[in-house]
Each structure stands twice: as structure tokens, then as C-alpha cells.
Amino acid sequence: MLGRYKDVYINKEDFDALVGLGIPYEGFVIGVGYAYLLYDVLEPVQFEHINSSVLSYNNFCVQFATQCIDNSHEAFTLSLGMCQQDLISPIEQVLGSDEGYLIIISQCGEVLRKIKKEGKNIYIKVNRQAFDAIISKFSDTSDYYALLTLGALRNKERHTGYQTLIAEPQTYAIKITGEMREGNSLLGDVTIAFVLNFDDGTSIVLDSFKGVAGGYGNGAPENGDYVTSNYADRGPLSNWYNRGMTHDEIGFSFNLDPQFKTNRSLLRIHPDGNNEGTLGCIGLSGDKNDLIRFRDKLRGYLKLQKGIPTKIYIMNNPNNANWGRKKTPNINE
């Protein structure tokens, strides 16, 4: 195989078309490997009738090229746009899930397969039953790896009876669920989950965090639909420091805007600083590492989406909309 690769990529459908037209190609075929040309010559069969004075190698040897594919582990990996460093460890780890799906874990630790396509990382979810039925006919590892590429999966959908072989991501979302503490109408315990919704109507939890809802003022935010957006640094080194939004020296806030009629405003998701509880916001209860992980992941999602749809459902929530216009106490919580 060639020692150098050309930085050229095409999908398998385009490569098959070139082969069908007899057009040579050298470069990567996404999800397959590296295509190259193997040159050789055809020598003449009989020389009896040829004058030795005119006989030469160049006159009678015909050069030709054979289209070849290197589908080695290295070539396949590079065809996905992965760097050389990724070759040190396995491409992916495949686990079965209780939901009937084959979940593929990337090297970054997300509970989904990361696939390179058109220069961007995207997530896919694979239907286990359909996947198993197809790979049962495979004879080697390279076929198995090739199936895990987005183009190959879509191709399998077109040419088999499995029309739900893969699901692609649609939107990120946040779900905040929990229950009010017994005998306390202001404070609830909640779980804040980052969710990825797929185009087949299913979803998967990417990460989750513990927290509290309310505790002071008008209590926990009402159940309903919100949009989370607008990161702000509220830490001790910022110009907008808020002790009630800072824990373990990590301070920040994200806007939590209700999508229904209410008299509540200025709701936020932030670390639960000072005493336990917030002035009607969602307060994160984790340690420094948890808070950094929450902050950085949510900021990353907001780079992909302008706002994150958020749903709150807290059992026994009094759903105080503050129509009595109760004044929020002036305390740092």
C-alpha cells in the first residue's frame, strides 16, 4: 500500500459510480478505506513474426492500472476523518442497552457513536435488531466497521427492509424532574438531565445532575415549558459576581424563560450558593467538577442551538405564578 495518503474524500456511492464509468480514483472512500491504483504491464505473447531489430519493451508492453481498495484498520479510520492519535485506541466500544438499541460509545465518553461527516461530529443511534440481522452475514471486521458509518447505514436502509436502522439527532433538550420536600411548599429536590432527541421520536439522556428548586421567595418554578439560554459568568472574578449563584468558586447562570403566561420572571439555572435553596430558580448541588461539567456542556449545546427547550415537572409543585405580586426578598440565595 502507498506510504502517503491524498487528502481527498468521496462517499461510496460516488466511488461506485466512478468505477462503473471506468474513471480511476485515488483518495479516501468515506467509511470504506483508501482507494489507489496498482500499475502493471501486459507483455506480448508471440515474437516469432517480429523483426528483432524493431523489438523493444516500450513498443509492445501495454501499461494498465487496476483500481484497488485498502480497507485496513488504519485506512478505514482515516477515511472517517479521524486523526493518527485515534489509532492508538479502539475506534469505538459497542454496548447493548435495555431500550433495544445498540449504543456506541465514543472515545470522548458520550454514550453514542461519534461519526465524522462533512467535517462535523454527529451522533447516531443504531437499532440493535436490524443491525444484528445485517452483520450476521459479515465475514470480516472491516465490513462491520464500514456499517457503522452514516453513509453505509443509510445505504443499508435503502437496500433492505429495515427502514429504521439508524436515527439521527434533532434537538438538545433539558428535563427537570423531582418532588417537593414533605411539609415544604417552597423547596423541591430535582434532577436536571441533558437530553438528545432523535428524528424517530426517541431520546437518550446524555448526562444528569442533582439540584434544588426554589426554597425562598415564590418557591419552585412552575411546571411547564421553558427555554434555557444566555450564559453569564457570576463567579468571584467576574464583574457580575453573585454569592448565591456561586459554589466552590464556580459561579454562572443560564436564563430560564417560561413559555407560558406567568408573573414569575428572572428565573435562572445556577450553582446553589450560600444556604440551601434559591429565590425560585433551579440550583445545582454538585461539587466543583460537577458544576464545571454542567456549565461547559450546556455552553457547548448552546453553540449548536440558540435556545434549549426545557421542561419542568415537579411532583406536588404548588405552581405559584405569583399573581398576588409577592415581593421577592432581597437576599443572596
Gap between the Cα atoms of 212 and 180, Å rounded: 9
* Other Cβ atoms within 10 Å of 281 Cβ, number: 28
Q: Quote the Cα angle for 79-81-84, to 5°.
A: 95
pLDDT of res. 110: 42
Gap between the Cα atoms of 147 and 151, Å rounded: 8
What are the helix and strand counts (H, E) for the chain?
7, 18
Looking at the DSSP bridge assignments, the partners of residue 229 are 255
31: left (phi over 0), alpha (psi -120 to 50) or beta: left
pLDDT of res. 290: 96
pLDDT of res. 42: 61
pLDDT of res. 296: 94
pLDDT of res. 190: 97
pLDDT of res. 111: 38
User: Domains in the chain, please, with CATH?
Assistant: 9-76 (no CATH), 89-167 (no CATH), 170-315 (2.40.440)
Q: Please, are residues 61 and 44 in contact by the beta-carbon 8 Å criterion? A: yes
- What are the mean pLDDT values of the chain's consecutive 10-residue runs (333 residues total)? 72 85 87 83 53 48 78 73 43 40 43 35 57 59 54 62 66 95 94 88 87 92 96 94 94 96 94 93 95 95 92 95 64 57
Residue 149, SS3 per DSSP: coil
